[in-house]
Structure 1
Amino acid sequence: MKPTAINRFALDGKVALVTGASSGLGRHFAQLLSQSGARVVLAARRVSRLEEDVQTIEGLGGQARAVAMDVTNAASVSACFNQLADWGQDWAVPDVLVNNAGVTVTRSLLEQTEDDWDQVMNTNLKGNWLVGTEAARRMVAAKKGGAIVNVASILGMRVAGGVAPYAVSKAGVVQATKAMALELARHQIRVNALLPGYIATDLNKDFLESELGERLRARIPSRRFGVLTDLDGPLLLLASDAGAAMSGACIAVDGAHLVSSL
């Protein structure tokens, strides 16, 4: 039967690995991918922080497992993929990678330290590269294609005060996405970037509801902050067969903030 436009977004039979899955966007992405039919691997530095989420997914009828991964450490990344292989064929090589792990340090440029720079760049850019290239090697060795979704930010395309290393790192993720897409296309591996704008989560809720947050919202053309579900359609497009011809794309989900002059 020919696939319909709707079921091309389904991920039945696929394995999806999500980094930075212990909170915020990563946790939401893992649950979404499970609801779309994927077997999901949740990765973070501490497995204990993932166990409740695994139980939640399984309670809803999905399949999920947790694995420890420090994205800044190549040995840890390799060990994580080896662990997937040890679980057997059903989990061995991810079909989808959501490269989501990220951090930021908020302080003025003149107050940023070398440690701040290293922490942000090692997690956001080096970590993205280590996990993405390792996933690609496993996909190529297994002679299977796949989809890599790098979670960047609109700050990879524009700047804001107080987060210089973060903006630089996300600009690097945007360029890394294009470089990976170019070289991996021959292996049927698609690499795209998702660029969220200001998305309301438990971590930033207080700021977004503050006076400074209101001033920020006034500069967004849609006059609203995003919510996690705003990212659902774009993520599934990039992860599924619905986006089979897309690679090297950078999709902003930001209420037109990126194209504004404010």
Structure 2
Amino acid sequence: MSSSPRRAGVLGHPIAHSLSPVLHRAAYAELGLDWEYDAYDVTEEGLGDFIGGLGPEWAGLSLTMPLKVAAMPLMDFVEPMAKLVGALNTVVVQHVGSQRQLVGANTDVHGIVAALREGGLERVNSAVVIGGGATATSTLAALGQLGCTSPVVAVRNRGRAGGLVRAASRMGVSPVLVPLGTDDADDAVVARACQADVVVSTIPASAGAALGARVHSVRGVLLDVVYDPLVTPLAESWLAGGGTFVGGQRMLLHQAAEQVRLMTGRTVQIRTLSDALAQV
């Protein structure tokens, strides 16, 4: 094993916006670890070469878009939750003698569950998920853990939701797909959302603003996974309508803390990561 400092990093394309270096470096400081953590701009085409070149000093990787699915076949072992979701955001690099094993994991599900629990939810009976990508798929897994197995999922293109539907089937979740993107469809989605226990928006803040303009009286919890801005236009409307809002930064903090635990074997306080994020 190399005597140089352990290394970890976040990969994605683009990657300049990532807050993972801020969070992981804060965690290492609290834990007294002399570790390095940097951001690397890596495309799907370059992922295999990057992972193939990982030396014995590497402890793990965080993955963001568009690598969460592309990394799956490159792993030696994929943890059950990541296999169910069909996407991973964490690679743990394990070294046993001269052998290296890559373990893929998904901490997004953990982050969503923890964030919703911060909003006061221990069990969910009804839910609306806005969007149909990888984060929406992780959201279905999180909702399943909280007891909701028939969430409504609003998508602009039903034809692109095949991966989500297949993953949901593996999880034992039966989503109800509804359209999004026209006036009538958006009105119907917001009407459902206003009556749901929880709404999770996985779409850009600008797209969510159009839905927010339709929000009036609400009763549930909104988790908007967007964390820039911290309070999205949809969230502003939700709060004005009397609902509870959990910001995407809470999901970000919890999924990062779980990544730190998987890579280091040690637990970091969420407050440490939150304080670091507040300084950005």
Question: In proportion to residue count, which structure has more strand?
Answer: 2
TM-score (norm 1): 0.44
Whichever of the two has the greater Rg, that structure is 2
